[in-house]
Amino acid sequence: MPNTQTKTSKDSLWPGRILKGLIRLFSWMPYWLIQKVGTAIGYLLIWLPNSHKTIAQKNLKIAYPNLSTPEQHQLVKQTLIALGKVTAELGAAWYWRYDRLQPLLKEVKGQALLDEAIAQQKGIIFLAPHMGNWELIGPIVSAQHAATFLYRPPNIPSVESFMVNARGRFGASLAPTNLRGVRTLIKALNNQEATVILPDQDPGESGGVYAPFYGRPARTMTLVSKLIQKTDSTVLFMVLKRLPNTQGFCLHYLPADPNIASSNELKATTALNRGVENCIQLAPEQYLWSYKRYRKPPKVMEDIYKKMKRA
């Protein structure tokens, strides 16, 4: 009689092997080819029924209600192409050496903000929304600063060690998003290290409060304000905006509203979301509109993703 547990364990490894194989394949490609492949992935998402397209359509109607129907459709298409590109760029983000990544960084805007933050000799919290290529921000930060990052274990368990090694290959320490991990991060920030946090990630039932995001309540993390209060760290928003014609990226540093550190959770999270919105305005088509940012709304509001039909 076959060992069912062993068979299940082996079967669960295959998704991870396929994903790691694809990322490895992308890493062998030159950057111009990565962009071509990413664009092709984006067009597949445009043509085929899928949840990414449907979620993007719903989110963009909320964020940009004054756009005409053709303008909405065009923005959805651009968003899906950007999603295809960031997917193909995982090969570079998780495999390339820094001397190969560095030439992709063509321009830096807001350098004075970073210089000022470093001069304060405090911990630095970089807030990097799902915008442009957020996966490449970790390698950039950890190559330039002592850094500790929190990470959420992936849905495919067999990928976890691979992901942790990839994100930490330039010297960063990684800690899971649990109480022990947060304590590790607080200690690192008090030691004047840096961290990168995705501020638009859903914090779950107990990790946040509802705050307006493009005028609609969205569960928003309180972790950022609590870290600032405990460590007196400096906060900057950070966006790696993709340039056209396979040129590479422009790195933007943006200031944070001082209210982001408020002990009033609504005031702090409202400031946090406003900062994310300011980042998005750099290139709205490069934001991850296919993420369910408005999941689990207040009970008095409609769940826009409920009974979602694929477009």
Question: What are the pLDDT digits (tens) for 119-156?
Answer: 999 999 999 999 999 999 999 999 999 999 998 887 78
- If you ran DSSP here, which 8-state letter would residue 210 be given? E
Mean pLDDT (whole number) for 3-24: 69
**What is the extent of the structural domain holding 158?**
12-286
3-state DSSP call for residue 211? strand
Is 208 among the domain residues?
Answer: yes
Provide the pLDDT confidence category of residue 3 given band limits of 50, 70 and 90. low
Confirm whether 100 is domain-assigned: yes
Q: Given this model, what pLDDT does residue 155 score?
A: 79
Q: Are 79 and 289 in contact (CB under 8 A)?
A: yes
Backbone phi and psi for residue 49, each to the nearest 5 degrees, phi listed first = -65, 130
Q: Using one digit for the tens of pLDDT, what is the confidence trace for 264-281?
A: 999 999 999 999 999 999
Q: Which pair of tokens denotes residue 108? A: 């830096």
- Residue of 198, 192, 183 lying closest to 137 (CA atoms): 198
pLDDT at 8: 40
Q: What is the pLDDT of residue 309?
A: 58
**Alpha-carbon distance 109 to 236, whole Å?**
13
Q: Is residue 195 part of a domain?
A: yes
Residue 1 pLDDT > 70, yes or no? no
Residue 280 in any domain: the answer is: yes
The residues, ordered by sequence, that sit 6+ positions from 45 with a Cβ below 8 Å of its Cβ are: 52, 53, 80, 83, 84
pTM for this predicted structure: 0.92
Tokens of 244: 């056209």
Give CA–CA dist 54/119, Å, rounded: 45
Residue type, 259: N
Q: For residue 291, tell me if it sits in a domain.
A: no
Task: Please indicate, yes or no, if residue 240 is contained in any of the structural domains.
Answer: yes
Return the pLDDT at 177. Answer: 87
- Give the mean pLDDT of 172-197: 94
Take residue 205 and report the two structure tokens written for it: 């039932």
Q: What is the predicted pLDDT for the residue at 69? A: 95
**Is 307 within a domain?**
no
Q: Tokens at residue 196, please?
A: 């990168």
How far, in Å, CA of 130 to CA of 123, rounded? 22
For residue 212, list its beta bridge partners.
217
User: Is residue 37 included in any domain, yes or no?
Assistant: yes
Task: Give the torsion sign (CA, 211, 216, 219, 223).
Answer: negative
Alpha-carbon torsion, ordered 120, 276, 300, 262, to 10 deg:
10
What is the average pLDDT across 218-247?
A: 97
Q: How many domains does the chain have?
A: 1
